[in-house]
Structure 1
Amino acid sequence: MRIIAGDWRGRKLMAPKGETTRPTADRTRETLFSMLASRLGSFEDLSVADLFAGSGAMGLEALSRGAAHCLFVEQDPDALDALRKNVAGLDANRRATVSGGSVMSLGPAKAPHDLILLDPPYGTGAGSVALDRLVRLGWIGPASWVALETSRTEDADIKTLAVESERKVGKAKLTLLRLA
């Protein structure tokens, strides 16, 4: 795994040990960031949340492209260890907050994020459940973009969010959402 573009382009990332975390393939991440760039224009100064963060590849890609700050949330101990090492290895500590715990334990947001990245375990419906909760707790506002990665057979079904775009890449489906 490598950072695809931006200040840290080409830098290697550590993957978590074990089989519990499924890192997003470089090709899938490249497709997602192309979809986002065509809508956002730039990642400069964005507030990003990388939820179900795993190694942190998605949020670190956003930081590499100019995002101001990224909150990473991950509960798996091996993934959390890899995430912390990746943040430290890129000297991103000033622009990153790493939170060990469940996405479902997040409280109300101080302000909506510009970009929310979610890569929950495939086939669990955890992304839809988390997004419903995040909308209610103010994490997602009218200007927020949400990027959800699921298996290619899963559908995002969140009543308060509208699907802006979907694309299938390998085993994954990438869905961009906004408030309805």
Structure 2
Amino acid sequence: MNGRSKAAGPAGGGQVRIVGGRWRNTRLQVPDLPGLRPTSDRVRETLFNWLMPKLPGARVLDLFAGSGALGLEALSRGAASAVLVERDPALVTALRAVVTRLGAEGQVQVTSGDALRWLDTAAPQQADIVFVDPPFADGLWEQVIERLPRHIAPGAWLYVEAPAQRRQSLPPEWSLHREGGTREVGYALYRHATVTLRNDLNAVNNA
């Protein structure tokens, strides 16, 4: 995660790096907090290879931001803006410091709070790409995904990360695009069907 459960790599303190783009090799601190394991460089490299054509100008929502590795990687590679939601005060402080260090205040909104509460109460977003990597022990995937529709743009992309042994079951409007895994985690990229439905309606109307 970004938030409280992360992909691979040692639990606890240390660093991760932004893999590509304008901030390539920038180091992000990972505080020594229980369960905090940022998504590994290898998994992020795979994910952002999948997303590369979608990143320029994209609006990003990272719901369990943690170290900021996913949201900041997206910005580094061309996304236009990002909302980073994180509940741990120490991580929020660290995220805001990183954003200032990168000179990205105009692109990044760091929000302190619980992701589910934020999804229920925040003004609707129009996110093009959403990262969902919650604390594995909390089992929040279904609760988060059912709250997403009011915060996404038509045809939005959704990245989900979970323990390797967990099989995800998403609502039918989310279609699987690509998936992969390591010994510790499974990860997948989905697309929301609204873009397909809209294209189908346009074809009917233009017939």
TM-score by length of 2: 0.78
Distance 2:91 2:122 in 1: 25
Q: Tell me how large the CA RMSD over aligned residues is.
A: 1.7
Greater radius of gyration (CA): 2
Q: Match of 1:130, SS?
A: helix
- Over residues 108-155 of structure 1, what are the superposed CA-to-partner deviations in whole Å (9 max), with x where a residue is unaligned? 6534211001111124321221011112xx113432000011111122
Which consecutive aligned stretches of 4+ in structure 1 deviate over 4 angstroms post-superposition? none
| Residue of structure 2 aligned with 1:162, choices 163, 175, 196 | 175
One-letter code aligned to 1:102: D
One-letter code aligned to 1:100: S
User: In terms of mean alpha carbon deviation, does 156-165 or 85-94 score higher?
Assistant: 156-165
One-letter code aligned to 1:4: V
Q: Match of 1:93, SS?
A: coil
One-letter code aligned to 1:10: N
Structure 2 unaligned blocks of 5 or more: 1-15, 194-207
One-letter code aligned to 2:45: E
Number of residue pairs the alignment of both structures matches: 175
Distance 2:148 2:184 in 1: 26
Distance 1:74 1:119 in 2: 12
One-letter code aligned to 1:45: G
Q: For 1:65-144, what aligned pairs fall within 5 Å after superposition? A: 65-106=77-118, 107=121, 109-135=123-149, 138-144=150-156
How many angstroms does 1:169 deviate by?
2.7
User: In terms of mean alpha carbon deviation, does 9-18 or 50-59 score higher?
Assistant: 9-18
| Residue of structure 1 aligned with 2:73, choices 57, 61, 67 | 61
Whichever structure has more helix as a proportion of its residues is 2
Change (3 A) 1:87 1:17: farther
